[in-house]
Amino acid sequence: MDESNDPPDHTPLQDLTVLQHNCPGSNLVFLTLFPLIRNRNVSFVCLQDPPLFQGDPLRAPGYQCFSSNVIGQKKRVATYVNCFLTESFNYLCGSPVADVLHLLMSRNHGGKVVGGCERFSLINTYNRQVDGNNTVSPADLCTDNTNPSLMVGHLNVHTMYTDPEQDMSTAERRKGEHYFRVA
């Protein structure tokens, strides 16, 4: 790898590019996605319902994969980190539930990651509907965190804020608004 592309250890990152996509378990979606971004310098690829091989998400050239680590649960989210970031940063991976992946990043030798902060959190989620209930609660997503955070994923909640013309029940609207209030 050309070291001139590595971010200097003392300079906060200026551009983080995040791609988010729900794959519905499709190998074809996965195999089509990564060649499309090969030369685009995408920092993070956050997938929901990624295709699995022997229980683990597929590998992608140029990316290191982190996935939920809840034992005995199907891996529903995977975050792929561009290798140019994996060399200069440490990653702490946590999953409060199987459908959420918290990825906390910091520099190997200290220093700022984003803005004036030494840590940055990327939260990837796939909030599925099972028997009319969500698999991820707002508390699982919106943790008490003093670090800058970015939440991405397939939330499966609807509100008048995000889709004012959608016809939705009062219960569905309230459920969606609860996520916004907690955030």
Residue 12 has pLDDT above 70, yes or no: no
Q: What is the pLDDT of residues 125-135, one digit of tens each?
A: 998 888 878 88
What totals of helices (H) and strands (E) does the chain contain, helices first? Answer: 4, 12
State the average pLDDT over residues 45-61: 94
Q: What whole-number percentage of the chain has pLDDT above 70? A: 91
User: Whole-angstrom Cα distance, residue 135 to residue 175?
Assistant: 13
Q: 64 and 170 in contact (C-beta within 8 Å)?
A: no
Does residue 170 carry a pLDDT above 80? yes
Whether the predicted pLDDT of 65 surpasses 60: yes
Least confident of 1-5, 21-25, 40-44, 122-126: 1-5
10 falls in which pLDDT band (50, 70, 90)?
low
Query: Is residue 67's pLDDT more than 90?
Result: yes
Residue 156 CB: number of other CB atoms within 10 A? 17
Domains and CATH numbers, the chain: 3-182 (3.60.10.10)
pLDDT tens-digit readout, 121-157: 999 999 888 887 888 888 888 776 778 888 899 888 7
Range 51-57 average pLDDT: 93
pLDDT-wise least confident of 16-30, 123-137, 169-183: 169-183
Overall average pLDDT of the 86-110 stretch: 87
Query: How large a percentage of the chain has pLDDT more than 90?
Result: 36
pLDDT at 58 over 90: yes
More confident of the two residues 115 and 18: 18
Kindly provide the b/e burial profile for residues 43-78, where b requires at least 16 CB atoms within 10 angstroms of the residue's own CB. Answer: bbbbbbbbbbeeeebbebeebebbbbebeeeebbbb
Token pair listed for 81 = 């980190």
